[in-house]
A and B are shown apart, each in its own frame.
Chain A
Amino acid sequence: MTNTAFRRARSRRILAAAVGFATLVAVAGCSAEQEGAGSGGGGGTGAAEDCINAEEAQATYEESWSSVAEAFGLSELTPVEEEVCEVDPETWAAEPKQGDAYRIAFAAQGPTNSWGVLSEEAFNYHAEELGVDVLYAAANGDATQQVDNIQQLASQDPDAMVVVPMGEGIAGQVQAAVSQGIPVVLCSGILPESSQAVSTVTRQYDLLGTAYAEWIAQELGGEGQVAILSGLAGVPTAEYQKAAAEATFEKYPDIEVVTTQYTEWSPTVAKTVAQNLIASYPDLDAIWSDSGYGAIGVVQAYQEAGLPVPPITGDAVNDFLLATQGTDVRYALSTFPPEMSSTCLDTAMDLLNGEPVLNKVYIDSPSFTNEEGEQYVREDCDGGLLVPTSAPEDLLVELGMCQA
Chain B
Amino acid sequence: MTATTPAPAVAPTRPRPNWVAVAVRRGAAVWVIVAALVLVLSVLRGGSFWSTGNLAALLTSAVVLGLVSLGQHTVILSGGIDLSVGAMVTITTLLTAVLIDGYPIRTAPVLIGMLVLGALIGALNGVLITLLGMPPFIVTLGMLYLVNGAALWISSTPAGRVTSILSEFAFGRIGPIPYTFLVLVLAVVAMWFLLNRTVWGKQVFAVGGDLHSARAAGIDTTRVLLGVYIASGLLAAIAGILLASRSSVGSPTAGAGLELSAITVVVIGGTSLLGGRGTLLGTMGGVALLSLITNSITLLQFPSTITDLIRGIIIIAAVAIFVAKRR
Residues on A facing B (Cβ under 8 Å): 23, 26-27, 30-37, 108, 110-111, 120, 135-138, 140, 142-145, 147-149, 151-157, 167-173, 175-176, 192, 194, 233-236, 239-240, 243
**Nearest B residue to A238 by beta-carbon distance?**
B156
User: Residues of B within 8 Å of A, CB-based: how many?
Assistant: 57
With A144-B254, A145-B294 already in contact, the answer to whether A168 and B57 are too (CB < 8 A) is no
A151 touches B56 (CB 8 A): yes
- Knowing A34-B101, A145-B294, say if A171 contacts B57 (CB, 8 Å): no
Contact of B256 among A30, A142, A151, A156 (CB under 8 A): A142
Kindly provide the distance from the CB of B73 to the nearest chain A CB, expressed in whole angstroms.
Answer: 20
Query: Of residues 147 to 187 in B, which have CB atoms within 8 Å of A's CB atoms?
Result: 151-152, 156-158, 161, 163-164, 167, 170-171
A120 CA to B103 CA, complexed, in Å: 40
Chain B nearest CB from A287 CB (Å) reads: 20
Can you name 8 A-B pairs with beta carbons within 8 Å?
A: A32-B105, A34-B102, A35-B164, A136-B298, A143-B251, A144-B258, A152-B295, A167-B254
Taking CB atoms and an 8 Å cut-off, the chain B residues in 52-73 that contact chain A are: 52-54, 56-58, 60-61, 64
**Residues in A neighbouring B243, C-beta threshold 8 A:** 144, 169
Of B13-21, B135-143, B303-311, B313-321, the segment with at least 4 beta carbons within 8 Å of chain A is B303-311
Q: Of the candidates A137, A138, A170, A236, which one forms a contact with B247 in the assembled complex, judged by CB atoms under 8 Å apart?
A: A170
Set of chain B residues within 8 Å of A145, measured between Cβ atoms: 294
Once A170-B247, A175-B248 are accepted as A-B contacts, the answer to whether A155 and B301 lie under 8 Å apart by CB is no
Which residues on the B side are within 8 Å of A235 (C-beta)?
253
B108-A26 in contact (CB<8A): yes
Residue of B nearest to A30 (CB): B104
> Which residues from 81 to 115 on chain B have a C-beta closer than 8 Å to any C-beta of chain A?
93, 101-109, 112
Write out the residue numbers on chain B whose beta carbons fall within 8 Å of the beta carbon of A233.
152, 156, 252
Closest to B166 in A: A172
Q: A169-B158, A234-B156 are in contact. Are A35 and B108 (CB under 8 A)?
A: no
The answer to whether B57 touches A148, judged by C-beta atoms less than 8 angstroms apart, is yes
Residue from the set A31, A111, A167 with the largest chain B CB neighbour count within 10 Å = A167
| Bound-complex Cα distance A108 to B151 (A) | 26
Alpha-carbon distance A332/B102, docked complex (angstroms): 41
Expressed in whole angstroms, the minimum distance between the Cβ of B304 and any Cβ of chain A is: 4
Chain A residues closer than 8 Å to B307, beta-carbon distance: 110, 138, 140
Nearest opposing residue in chain A for B89, CB measure = A144
> With the chains together, A176 CA to B103 CA distance in Å?
21
The chain B residue with its CB closest to the CB of A167 is: B251
CB distance from B260 to the nearest CB of A (A): 12
Would you call B157 and A240 a contact (CB within 8 A)?
yes
How far in angstroms is the closest Cβ of chain A from B234? 17
Residue of B nearest to A25 (CB): B108
Q: What residues of B have a CB within 8 angstroms of the CB of A155 in the complex?
A: 51-54, 56-57
Which of A36, A110, A157, A239 has a CB less than 8 Å from the CB of B102?
Answer: A36
Q: Which residues of A contact B60 (CB under 8 A)?
A: 148, 151
B interface residues (Cβ-Cβ under 8 A, vs A): 48, 51-54, 56-58, 60-61, 64, 93, 101-109, 112, 151-152, 156-158, 161, 163-164, 167, 170-171, 243, 245-249, 251-258, 294-295, 297-299, 301, 304-305, 307-308
- Cβ-neighbour of B103 out of A34, A142, A151, A243 (below 8 A): A34
- Which residues from chain A contact B56 at a C-beta distance below 8 Å? 151, 155
Which chain B residue shows the least CB distance to A134?
Answer: B301
- Asked if A168 contacts B164 (CB within 8 A), the reply is no
Complex contacts, A152 vs chain B, CB 8 Å: 54, 57-58, 61, 295, 298-299
Tell me if A137 and B254 are in contact (CB < 8 A). no
Q: Quick check: A149 and B298 within 8 Å, CB to CB? A: yes
4 further A-B pairs in the complex, CB-CB below 8 A; given A34-B103, A135-B298: A30-B163, A144-B258, A145-B294, A169-B247
User: Are A168 and B251 neighbours in the complex by a CB distance under 8 Å?
Assistant: yes
Interface centre among A135, A147, A234, A240 (most CB of B within 10 A): A234
The answer for the CA separation of A137 and B52 in the assembled complex, in Å, is 19
Cβ contact within 8 Å between A31 and B248: no
| Contacting residues, chain A, for B254 (C-beta < 8 A) | 143-144, 167, 169
- List residues of chain B with CB within 8 A of the CB of A234: 151-152, 156-157, 251-253
Task: With CB as the reference atom, state the residue of chain A lying closest to B61.
Answer: A148
**Complex Cα gap A155–B54 (Å):** 5
**Docked-complex contact B158 and A236, CB < 8 angstroms:** yes
Q: How long is the Cα–Cα vector from A37 to B102 in the complex, in angstroms? A: 8
A110 to B294, CA, bound (A): 13
Q: Which residues on the B side are within 8 Å of A168 (C-beta)?
A: 157-158, 247, 249, 251
Cβ contact within 8 Å between A136 and B294:
no
Q: Give the CA-CA distance A145 to B48 in the complex, in Å.
A: 20
Q: Whole-angstrom distance between the alpha carbons of A87 and B157 in the complex?
A: 28
Contacts of B156 in A (CB 8 A): 233-234, 239
CB-CB < 8 A to A239: which residues of B?
A: 156-157
Task: Please give the distance in Å from A91's CB to the nearest CB on chain B.
Answer: 22
How far does the Cβ of B144 sit from chain A's closest Cβ, in whole Å? 14
Could you say which of B105, B298, B299, B304 has the most chain A C-beta atoms within 10 Å of its C-beta?
B304
CA distance A136 to B300 in the complex (A): 10
